[in-house]
Structure 1
Amino acid sequence: MKRYIWIILLCIAAFFVHNGALQTDIMESRNIVTAREMVSEGNWLIPTMNGELRLEKPPLPTWVAGFIEKVAPDNLKAQRSAAGVMGIIWVLFFYLTAKEIFRKKDYAFIATLIFLTCYNIILMGRTATWDIYCHAFMMGAIFFLWKGLYDDPYREKSRPWRNFTFAGIFMGLSFLSKGPVSFYALLLPFIIAALVYRRPLMRGKWKAFIFMIIVCVILSAWWYLYIIAFHPEAANAVIEKESGSWINHNVRPWWYYWRFFAETGVWALLTLSTLFISHWKKVIYDRRGYLFTIWWMLAALVLLSFMPEKKMRYLLPMMVPCSYAVAFLVYHFYKEYRLDKTSKLIFYINAGLVSLIATVFPVLIFIFGYQQHRISLITAIVAGMLILVIAIWLWKSTAHLRSIEFVFGIVTLFVVAECFLFNMIGASFTNPEFNSIRGIREVNELKGVPLYYNELKGPIRMELVYEAHRKILPLDFENKEDVLKALPCAVVTIEPIKNEFPKEILNMIDTTMIGIYDDNRHPKGTKHYHEEFLNQVTLLKLK
């Protein structure tokens, strides 16, 4: 029980403390805008985003966001807290799965601490998007699937119907969260590794196994069947669009994920070290368990590399096998009384580098935190002193080959950063000319006035719709009849009005500049500054 309490407390620090510090991204904007329209227009089964059908993503995370929007309107922290809850579920099932497969509580706890300090996991647990939902549910499915496949059918406590039923429910919830993504990136690699690792014990379980598939299909398919039945044309368009995106959108070469190990953050070098298979399979006591995690990790990497569309955030499910594999090394360093020279060298290099970074971190806090006015002097001193103490602890752990103490030091380092430095990280994305379009919410002249953008210039950024807290609909600025019919209205334009409308239409309307809004989080001159976030809002009325 103590371990569960510690895990939950660490999850609270990882996912909830200062969870409003980071700025919203495009994925959050899409999810929350869709949730707002669910609440305001009651379209819970047929979601819309900025007035257009939003069928590309399954609705479960958006239903959760919609419920939160109904209870706590326009509350980003509450929205992100739902992702934090899913993060806790993912971490708990991660721990339970490690205990179930490898039968070592100490190992399972070490693996969980490593998993909780992968920066990608922390980031997704603080972001109101879909990814955390599908993988958290799939982790639950994997836990129950393993129990269903490998429990001895002759054991008195063997419960195949319960295990397979829960596995089917969690698989269906995963599909309702982000379609087949987690099936391909998390479940399939696990199944490949499990079949190599151990033969399933299926005597007398086939009916329960088939029932699992039926439950999964029903939960996964009902919403899609509803959409196909009532909106067949829209459903076909989405299917064509999504299948085309997988093939033509963000296409990268097959070796794009070669640096996958970097996604584990502080554990990057140890993750890379797990691939010294010829060495570890000779010295690690649980050789088969270690090889199982490597099979799982490599299967996931190969399968993800097969897909034409690639983004680094798609590596999120790989943090599961990577953490399990790194934990085998840490557990080996901990349990082995006399480490071989190669193992010692690997530990010294990995732990020494991390300890060195921790040592210089207080200086970085002072330079980039306090001197840049992102945190107070007191916060800088307290955080710096705590991290310096942790750095000394890490150096001692490294010198004495105490791998468990080293892991505890890393966990403590992350807790200090989460409690003291997240506001500094959020403040580092600053634009001195930042003036969000959110300001139009307070403009009386725009109350009840529809808002449009020039559809000839392409779609509006969803971040602007989120900040404006209202629909920004498309309008053909060159179609006189459509423009006159829309009046009075306001328009969001990148260029001045005279460059957006034909003279013939401008001669018929009065224009009132409301303001110029810059929603860029980064200053001009940086690669992250985009002109499409710099907009003018103008009120149009008939002369």
Structure 2
Amino acid sequence: MKISEKYYPLILVAACLFLFFPHLDVLYANIMEARNFNTAREMLEHNNWVLTTMNGEARYEKPPLPTWLVAFSAGIFGITKLWALRLPSALISTVLILFSFSLSRKRMQLSAKQSLYGSFILATSFYILFAGRNGTWDIFAHAFMLGGIYFLFQFFTTESKIYQNAALAGLFIGLSFMSKGPVSHFALLLPFLIAYVAVFKLKTSRSRTVPFILLVSITLVLSSWWALAIYFGDSETATAIADKETTAWANRNMRAFYYYWSFFTQSGIWTIPAFVSLLYPYLKSRCSNLKMYRFSLIWTLAAVVLLSCIPEKKSRYLLPVLIPLALNTSFYIEYLVRAFKVLKDKRETVPVYFNFGIIGLVCFLTPIAGYLVLSSNLDGLYFWYISLSLVLLITGVFIFKYLAKRKIERVFFLVIGFTCAVITFGFPLVRASYTNEDYAQLAPKVQQLLSEEKQLYLFENSSPELIWDLGQRVPVLNTREGLHLPTQTPFYLILEEERQEELKELLDGFNMTLEGCYDGNITTKADRNYKTRRVGCLYLVSKAN
């Protein structure tokens, strides 16, 4: 059955509903999320919307736009509901996918089917899935930037609606800065400009001068107002934080220049097609639109090279590269759909059979492996396990069936279905790993002590996860200004378990009675996600006689 092109955006939205929205509360907050969620909580509870804080201390490292969106969602649905805190990420990820489709179809003038392929590849790429289901701010910066690029492309190439396109480009580029500073400007916008100039050349005209000034003005206003607000509102702290971030940026997680050269593996299930799409000598005579293929390839490689020039490197920083890489991979998928039936050269067919065959094999092996690993902890989860197993087995059968018939388009869509099934039916099975018998919530104890008007302090704002687990703001003893001990004793003190010996040295001359330790990890110590900084120990501190 042939589906009209006008329904493609709806199909993409439907896929995003399966990929980004189900079971957003399964994973507990990681360290990056905890920082953001703490800041959102203090916006709601203490009205710190501009001079943002985390447990009472200034947190100016990131602009506030995504935190505002999370705070609005939490204000509607509840600050304790993790799915509500992650909902804005899922929504902006859907916007990202729709902008990708529109850029490919309307600006790059690719076919509707190829545009659909590229958007599906982007939506199911590993780090896009991770960021789209996670309360971190990278996905906001890059989604807004892709919107800015869409309107900037239109501003460069059309004579109609010049002022509108300039204003919208400036708006979205500015919103990107308000999400995570200049990160996406360097990693996504600058590579786009390099690719655009290399392929299309930059045509200037007097008619675009004033609209371009409008574009830059809107971008500058949106990008600078918050930095100016914190500088004039709390200049000393803002300067200290800026100095600290600059030092950390230059000395933290330093990697070799070639660290990102395996960047195509971050697309997950599309690793092999993504790699093949980078082979220009092979694909240049096979792609349907050579000019646009060159554009997406230069955009991708320029992003990798620019990111490689930055000393600090992390795998997740490759997220913006996946956007042009998905476009680039769509040229290879379009070629396979069009020509695979008649291909004879095994050098072309074997990688295709291997890539999709591996996914088909995973469909058969996952139910077996899942049962062997999780069988002892599946109580209450059998519905999800059985549903996932059935869907994967059926998907696997059809993947091999259509591979044998060389119907690559159907195989492609089955892979999309496979990814949707893993998220929709498989994600709840993560709960089978939540087996920490020592798990204990710290928030109720904090609430009890504060309601009894006991003196309660947190030693230091060093563990964002522990601060999140407290459930509310708790005064801090060791701040940026130094250690400030209460004048009256006794008082209660919370600190991470791993720092107990350090505290005993600092509080020499005080009696410290351990009231108990609260393990906020829901996984056991054997799990790689177990964090000792999430174990909070409660002490009763009094002066020594």
Distance change >3 Å, CA 530–CA 386, structure 1 → 2: closer
1:80 maps to which of 83, 86, 96: 86
* Structure 1: segments with no counterpart, 5+ residues: none
2:424 matched to 1:419?
yes
1:12 maps to which of 1, 10, 17: 17
Secondary structure, aligned partner of 1:484: coil
Per-residue CA distance 1:109-151 (angstroms, 9 max, x = gap): 1111111111211221111221111111011001101111112
Q: How big is the shift at 1:97?
A: 0.6
Partner of 2:306: 303
- CA distance in 2: counterparts of 1:427 and 1:188, whole angstroms: 44
Q: How big is the shift at 1:445?
A: 6.8
Q: How big is the shift at 1:80?
A: 0.7
- Any conservation in 2 of the 1:493–1:500 contact (CA below 8 Å)? no
Q: How big is the shift at 1:94?
A: 0.9
Among all aligned residue pairs of Structure 1 and Structure 2, give the percentage whose two residues are the same amino acid.
29
Matches within 5 A, 1:71-470: 71=76, 72-99=78-105, 100-151=107-158, 153=159, 158-203=160-205, 204-336=207-339, 338-339=342-343, 341=345, 342-373=347-378, 376-428=381-433, 430-441=435-446, 443=448, 447-455=452-460, 459-470=461-472
Distance change >3 Å, CA 41–CA 377, structure 1 → 2: closer
Q: How big is the shift at 1:526?
A: 5.1
Distance change >3 Å, CA 447–CA 81, structure 1 → 2: farther
Q: How big is the shift at 1:471?
A: 2.9
- Any conservation in 1 of the 2:288–2:331 contact (CA below 8 Å)? no
- The answer to which of 163-172 and 280-289 deviates more is 280-289
Per-residue CA distance 1:377-423 (angstroms, 9 max, x = gap): 34322321210110111112222222211111011112211221111
Q: How big is the shift at 1:236?
A: 1.7
Distance change >3 Å, CA 224–CA 370, structure 1 → 2: same
TM-score, normalised to structure 2, is 0.91
Secondary structure, aligned partner of 2:539: strand
Per-residue CA distance 1:280-328 (angstroms, 9 max, x = gap): 1122232222222111111111111111111111111111111111111
- CA distance in 1: counterparts of 2:121 and 2:387, whole angstroms: 25
Q: How big is the shift at 1:439?
A: 4.2
- Any conservation in 1 of the 2:127–2:267 contact (CA below 8 Å)? yes
Secondary structure, aligned partner of 1:538: strand
2:53 matched to 1:57?
no
- Any conservation in 1 of the 2:39–2:53 contact (CA below 8 Å)? yes
Amino acid at match of 1:172: G
- CA distance in 1: counterparts of 2:420 and 2:27, whole angstroms: 17
Partner of 2:3: none
- CA distance in 1: counterparts of 2:315 and 2:41, whole angstroms: 29
Amino acid at match of 2:318: L
Amino acid at match of 1:51: G
Amino acid at match of 2:532: E
- The answer to which of 485-494 and 129-138 deviates more is 485-494
- The answer to which of 266-275 and 342-351 deviates more is 342-351
Partner of 2:519: 518
- Any conservation in 2 of the 1:20–1:76 contact (CA below 8 Å)? yes
Secondary structure, aligned partner of 1:523: coil
- CA distance in 2: counterparts of 1:184 and 1:227, whole angstroms: 23
Partner of 1:535: 536
- The answer to which of 518-527 and 315-324 deviates more is 518-527
Distance change >3 Å, CA 176–CA 351, structure 1 → 2: same
- CA distance in 1: counterparts of 2:496 and 2:297, whole angstroms: 52
Amino acid at match of 1:48: T
- The answer to which of 315-324 and 394-403 deviates more is 394-403
Q: How big is the shift at 1:480?
A: 11
Distance change >3 Å, CA 229–CA 529, structure 1 → 2: same
- The answer to which of 105-114 and 204-213 deviates more is 204-213
Q: How big is the shift at 1:523?
A: 2.3
- Any conservation in 1 of the 2:43–2:52 contact (CA below 8 Å)? yes
TM-score, normalised to structure 1, is 0.91
Distance change >3 Å, CA 347–CA 223, structure 1 → 2: same
- CA distance in 1: counterparts of 2:124 and 2:447, whole angstroms: 41
Secondary structure, aligned partner of 1:482: coil
Secondary structure, aligned partner of 1:102: coil
- CA distance in 1: counterparts of 2:272 and 2:454, whole angstroms: 56
- CA distance in 1: counterparts of 2:353 and 2:508, whole angstroms: 72
Partner of 2:40: 35
Q: How big is the shift at 1:63?
A: 1.5
Q: How big is the shift at 1:216?
A: 0.4
- Any conservation in 2 of the 1:38–1:66 contact (CA below 8 Å)? yes
How many pairs were matched up?
530
2:8 matched to 1:3?
yes
